[in-house]
Amino acid sequence: MNLAHDSRIVLTLDAGGTSLKFMAIRGHQILGDPIPIASEADDLNRCLDNIVTGFTRIAASCPAPPVAISFAFPGPADYPAGIIGDLPNLSAFRGGVALGPMLEARFGIPVFINNDGDLFVYGEAIAGFLPHVNGLLARAGSPKRYKNLFGVTLGTGFGGGIATNGELLIGDNSVSGEAWLLRNKLDPSINAEEGACIRAVRRSYAEVAGVPFDDVPEPKELFDIGMGLAAGDRAAAIHAFRRMGEVAGDAIAQALTLIDGLAVIGGGISAAAPLFMPALVDAMNGVYIKAGGERLRRLVATAFNFDDPAQREVFLKGEARTLVVPGGTRTAQYDPLQRTAVGISRLGTSQAVAIGAYVFAIRKLDAKSP
């Protein structure tokens, strides 16, 4: 379903521990400027009042009445019911808050809430990385098409989500795609997030450079150090990003073992791809060592870095061949190269989340229409 030029308007929200950013979206375009309001995370009544105020103000700025509210909100939550649980970064939400039903009663339109990692992947599946790859496959003359997408966001945490055949996989407990809880390759006693997030990169740099953690710059400056563009311990910066890439790559491989599709990466640290992507893809293409010393591929499918021109060319070409059907003269096409690709967000994380929220709402509305 192509909703890029749909005329309906949906209100959305980017919710964080310190601020709430309200937007209106029509088709795949954000209308006007976002409206930021403090979250007041330690006081439930003030936080809820600010949420209502934000949606009221953004609705008033729209050229037509909105048909739905659809946004990302941190978990734990029962997203289909619109109920938010005990949030670590919004301390006022304790014991369960029926945020969705409250907003439906206040604005008189349907309200849909999801996890930001899920909506990021959904946006990339609808209008970003997945259709981009399939379009290039078509142009290359390949019959292969992908329908499944796993995605992660590298930032304060290590978020994730799954989209399959045009649908968002939410899960029976609203916790599908929780990438942060996958096992950490470098230390199996801890979760993957502790090796694939901002604090993990800064911690690795501190250990190698021999400096206190509090003195370590943020990832943007660490990337500049690693690229030789800023003063600092370049070897430590390169090590920190490679280490993160190895953990993230193994976590992605864990997920793709079950999902069998493509992978996309977003979040603030994704801009440092030149320093972590080689290690990430190497981890996806790693091996297990069996008891007798035999090597076993980490993934059945070969992983390619889609942002590397040489690897992309091999991925798009494949190994297509024509087979003669036994007992006759008919032919069949066969491509024995089982492959996957991982690439950086085509939309940008915020845009992907907004598009994911929009399409989720519109498809839900259309599914209810007679």
Q: What would the pLDDT profile of 25-39 be if each residue is shown by its tens digit?
A: 998 889 989 999 998
Q: What would the pLDDT profile of 131-155 be if each residue is shown by its tens digit?
A: 999 999 999 999 899 999 999 999 9
The yes-or-no verdict on residue 1 having pLDDT over 60 is no
Fold held by 9-115+359-368? Nucleotidyltransferase; domain 5 (3.30.420)
Mean pLDDT in residue range 259-266: 97
What predicted TM-score, i.e. pTM, was given to this entire model? 0.93
The yes-or-no verdict on residue 238 having pLDDT over 60 is yes
End-to-end Cα spacing for the chain? 17
Mean pLDDT in residue range 70-90: 88
Distance separating alpha carbons of residues 247 and 283, to the nearest angstrom: 8
For the chain, domain boundaries: 9-115+359-368, 129-346
Distance separating alpha carbons of residues 63 and 365, to the nearest angstrom: 20
Indicate the class that CATH gives domain 129-346.
alpha beta
* pLDDT in the model for residue 212: 97
Tokens standing for 64?
């037509």
The yes-or-no verdict on residue 370 having pLDDT over 90 is no
The yes-or-no verdict on residue 4 having pLDDT over 90 is no
More confident call, 19 vs 82: 82
Distance separating alpha carbons of residues 300 and 307, to the nearest angstrom: 21
Same fold, 9-115+359-368 and 129-346: yes
* pLDDT in the model for residue 41: 79
